[in-house]
Structure 1
Amino acid sequence: MISTPTKKLSSTARKAFANAGWVFFDRIFRMATALLVGVWSARYLGPSQFGLLNFASVFPTVLTSLAGLGLANVLITEIVRNKDYSENQLLGTAFVLRLIAGTVSLIAILITIQFLYSDQPVLQGMILFTSSVLVCQSVDVIDLHFQSRIKSKLSVVAKSIAFAFSTALRIYLLVNQFSLLAFSSVVFVEVSLAALILVLIYNRQEGQHMLKWRFNRQLATHLLHLSWPLMVSEFFIFIYMRCDQFMLKELATDMELGKFSAALRLSEVWYFIATAITSSFYPTIVSLKTQNEEAFQRAFRKLLSLLISISLLIAVFITFSASHLIDLLYGQQYTGADDILIIHIWSAVFVFMGVGSSYWFILHNEQRLLLIKTITGALINIVLNFVLIPRYGAIGTSFATLAAQMMTAFFMNYLIRQARPIFFAQTGAIVDMLKLTVLREWLKRTA
């Protein structure tokens, strides 16, 4: 669907589709498993305890962006361009930076929960286990290496093995009725095992070794200069995607938090599609940008049209099936979660838009605009939450999220002069979607 001007790029596009296919396999495997284990957990724990289990992941999720330093797309771009530094220097420098940032973030969380939840040792332990991902994600530079080479299959293998093991462990805990602390410890087991397998695959399959990585201080400064706006931007994205749960716990009840968490799982589970498609085509789009600006613009618009089309189909499907899904998966104790889901799912349309558009800012060195947009979105979400949660609970939070995503991903692109090309590309993509342009071109090529 993303056409390219040369046979070489067409071949790369086919590899990108195959690469996205592996990511889809991984996510669909996780979705199918979640229907069994996640729903089983929700029913076993009930709304209140299920809400606490999800709340334990709020702190590490918010700091994931700071621990990752916004390096993901920057590192992929640098590897693909490969101008001034070797790949061993790029991977080694990014690894050290992420390891330091992850450790500092973990320490910050431990200090914070000592003040906030000194009388809740179980919750402290749960947050400690879930926060382990902040340190382990330093090894994900290997995953970024695979993405840059359009070899996500290798990452999928590593993470799927770890996920399968952790799923089996969750089932064991459910059957034997373990405590909340035990359930949260599974996160530590999964991320540690995934990191170990990634290292083994990289060392054996790629003919490389982590011991060859080298830290370069000058490169570290260069990477941080490029990535800091993305890091802060991602931080505020997580703020307004996860502050909902924190504010619900403080301004509403654990019951509302549990219902919102249940709806959130069915709403956000689709976001991987946008990430899988966009990240798989990113190396191709980087190549197009350096070779043919017109072809890049066409490909970028087609990518947006594809993402918008998929997100609208998902939103419509969930809207009409929400009541049946909540009743089937969670039962009567989660009554009301369907209304939350119906509102929240429409945020996916703008999330898909935002994910597809984010690469434009990186390629045009406009990361600071992303920072402005996401800070504004976070502020809108927080203010609306203060206004709506006391009166409407989780439904109010869903409206706040939708409004923030709509403003950040779409309307602000028009309000910011430098970002207007994105707004016009998004608008054109919506028109293409309504005309079924992408579908007709695909049918024409396959006929």
Structure 2
Amino acid sequence: MIKSKDLTLNSLWFALSKLNTLLSGVVFFVILTRYIDKGVVGAFTYAQSIIAISAVFVSFGLSTSIVKQFSETPLNIKNIIRSVIAFQMIAAFVVIVFLYLNFHENNLIVIILSFTLLFKCSEVFKTFFDYNLSSKKYYKAELLILVLTTIFKIIVLLYTGDIIFVCVIILLESMVIFLIMLRMFNKNVSMYNNSVKVNFKEILRDAFPVLISSSIFIIYSRVDQLMVYNMSGDESQALYASAVKLSEGWYFIPLGVVTSYYSILANNKNDDNYFNYFSDACLKVNSITIPAAILITLFSKQLISILYGDSYIESAAILTIHVWNGVIIGLSSLTFRHFIIAGYRKLSIYRALIGLLLNIVLNFILIKQFGVIGAAISTLISQFIALFLSNLIWKTTRNIFLIQLKSLFFIKYRVSNEICTSRQ
């Protein structure tokens, strides 16, 4: 039985726990743009994109796919998580070596940030708490660390003006969060069986399509920044990244709703009301993303001027375009989780491939013609087609398209039992 209060509270805790997106992604970035040369800002955000892409190969899609394993074998959660963490640690070492061989001569920022990948597996612990609708268990500790380290990063940046010291603090921050998550997890798994053997091959088989789709997705969501940096230079990258930080800085709020509904959808996958729950989730996500996109569009110039200064005013036009990606991302996050629950592994890969190819082609054409504005247009078009419109292509996802299309107009989609039972 779904308790609305539990859902709302867990969404709130999850959203608050994601304040690091706001703190390190926006508040800190504002200080960065005010006191650091645009070229350094461009190099730093470029390095962040490299690490974000690398992180996908470390997580291997496991942090998302194990929710299905949790619902099928709840007594085996402890061993599942331990196996996943061991695998991710090994993957992190491999990726760090690869990045060192390719960047050690010309990009120290990438090398330092690469070691944060060792602690990427803390996301697995968060998945465990989110699954149990108990995000608040880790929220307070994580938020305290993030607030303190963000303040410390700002002080160090203002005092030294050296981005390298900031990167070291980011590394220490990720390590401390991991250690706290590990301790909290060990205190909350005593009720689970410690002797059940884990079928890790099955876990990897479930995770592999998620890895493929996630890696393609993160590449095409970051390829605009990589291409802007390489085609237009570090200062253009700074302008583009400043708009992206603002347009993505509030994503943690709708994603809190998505995460809470994920466990509900997974546990009710055979229920006749499954798609009604899905429709409710879409409406709640849109009630956040659409008003936010409208407000940011209307006041983009004022936001850029106040936060970054007039030297970044060109970013306002980018922001008015890029901010609408949030509406697509919110709905797509729900669709992605539906694919995992329903077993539509190949569809998630196809969608991601469509988006990647479109974004690369459009970026090559539009960046040359319109500069950084072209990159924003390319990303919006490719995500709209790949993550929303593509649901019309396959018969099994057309009902998803109808649900989400109506939700854009805040219309509840009442799905018949016949449609619900034919989803598998």
Please report the TM-score for the alignment, with normalisation by the length of structure 1.
0.87
Structure 1 position 188, deviation (Å): 0.4
Structure 1 residue aligned with 2:223, among 201, 224, 243? 243
Structure 2 residue aligned with 1:64, among 45, 50, 55? 55
Q: Sort the Cα spacing of 1:94 and 1:33 in 2 relative to 1 into closer, same or farther, 3 A.
A: closer
Match of 1:274 in 2: 254
| In 2: Cα distance, 1:103 partner to 1:371 partner | 26
Q: Deviations over 1:211-235 (max 9, x none)?
A: x96795x611001111101111010
Structure 1 residue aligned with 2:77, among 81, 87, 92? 87
Match of 2:68 in 1: 77
Structure 1 position 274, deviation (Å): 2.7
Match of 2:34 in 1: 43
Structure 2 residue aligned with 1:100, among 68, 87, 90? 90
Structure 2 residue aligned with 1:359, among 328, 332, 337? 337
Please report the TM-score for the alignment, with normalisation by the length of structure 2.
0.92
Structure 1 position 30, deviation (Å): 5.3
Structure 1 position 48, deviation (Å): 1.8
| In 1: Cα distance, 2:23 partner to 2:83 partner | 37
Q: Deviations over 1:39-91 (max 9, x none)?
A: 111110132211111111111101222111111222122113326x6122211
| In 2: Cα distance, 1:73 partner to 1:10 partner | 21
Q: Sort the Cα spacing of 1:234 and 1:33 in 2 relative to 1 into closer, same or farther, 3 A.
A: closer
Retained in 2: the 8 A contact 1:92–1:213?
no
Amino acid at match of 1:93: S
Q: Deviations over 1:362-418 (max 9, x none)?
A: 111002110110011011001111111122111000000001110111111001233
Retained in 1: the 8 A contact 2:391–2:398?
yes
Retained in 1: the 8 A contact 2:26–2:249?
no
Structure 1, unmatched stretches of 5+, are 1-8, 438-447
Q: Deviations over 1:302-339 (max 9, x none)?
A: 11122123211111111001000000000011121000
Q: Sort the Cα spacing of 1:380 and 1:419 in 2 relative to 1 into closer, same or farther, 3 A.
A: same
Retained in 2: the 8 A contact 1:260–1:337?
yes
Structure 2 residue aligned with 1:395, among 364, 373, 378? 373
| In 1: Cα distance, 2:59 partner to 2:27 partner | 31
Amino acid at match of 1:271: Y
Answer with 154-163 or 324-333: which moved more.
Answer: 154-163
**2:178 paired with 1:200:** no
Question: Secondary structure in 2 aligned to 1:221?
Answer: helix
Question: Secondary structure in 1 aligned to 2:160?
Answer: coil
Retained in 2: the 8 A contact 1:202–1:208?
no
Structure 1 residue aligned with 2:110, among 127, 137, 153? 127
Structure 1 residue aligned with 2:120, among 137, 140, 145? 137
Identity across matched positions, percent? 22
Retained in 2: the 8 A contact 1:346–1:402?
yes
Structure 1 position 209, deviation (Å): 11
Structure 1 position 169, deviation (Å): 1.8
Alpha-carbon RMSD across the aligned residues, in angstroms, is 2.3
Match of 1:4 in 2: none
Structure 1 position 132, deviation (Å): 2.0
Question: Secondary structure in 2 aligned to 1:404?
Answer: helix
Q: Sort the Cα spacing of 1:36 and 1:101 in 2 relative to 1 into closer, same or farther, 3 A.
A: closer
Retained in 1: the 8 A contact 2:7–2:260?
yes
Structure 2 residue aligned with 1:256, among 224, 236, 240? 236
Amino acid at match of 2:282: L
Retained in 2: the 8 A contact 1:65–1:232?
no
Question: Secondary structure in 2 aligned to 1:10?
Answer: coil
Answer with 311-320 or 151-160: which moved more.
Answer: 151-160
Question: Secondary structure in 2 aligned to 1:86?
Answer: helix
Retained in 2: the 8 A contact 1:58–1:245?
yes
Question: Where in structure 2 are the equivalents of 1:207-218 lying within 5 Å?
Answer: 208=190
Question: Secondary structure in 1 aligned to 2:44?
Answer: helix
Q: Deviations over 1:87-112 (max 9, x none)?
A: 22211211112112222222222222
**2:174 paired with 1:191:** yes
Match of 1:315 in 2: 293
| In 2: Cα distance, 1:215 partner to 1:144 partner | 20
**2:2 paired with 1:10:** yes
| In 2: Cα distance, 1:331 partner to 1:47 partner | 12
| In 2: Cα distance, 1:34 partner to 1:285 partner | 30
Structure 1 position 29, deviation (Å): 6.8
| In 1: Cα distance, 2:128 partner to 2:189 partner | 13
**2:207 paired with 1:227:** yes
Structure 1 position 31, deviation (Å): 2.4
Retained in 2: the 8 A contact 1:350–1:409?
yes
Retained in 1: the 8 A contact 2:257–2:284?
no
Question: Secondary structure in 2 aligned to 1:289?
Answer: coil
Paired residues in the alignment total 414
Answer with 226-235 or 414-423: which moved more.
Answer: 414-423
| In 2: Cα distance, 1:25 partner to 1:401 partner | 28
| In 2: Cα distance, 1:130 partner to 1:106 partner | 10
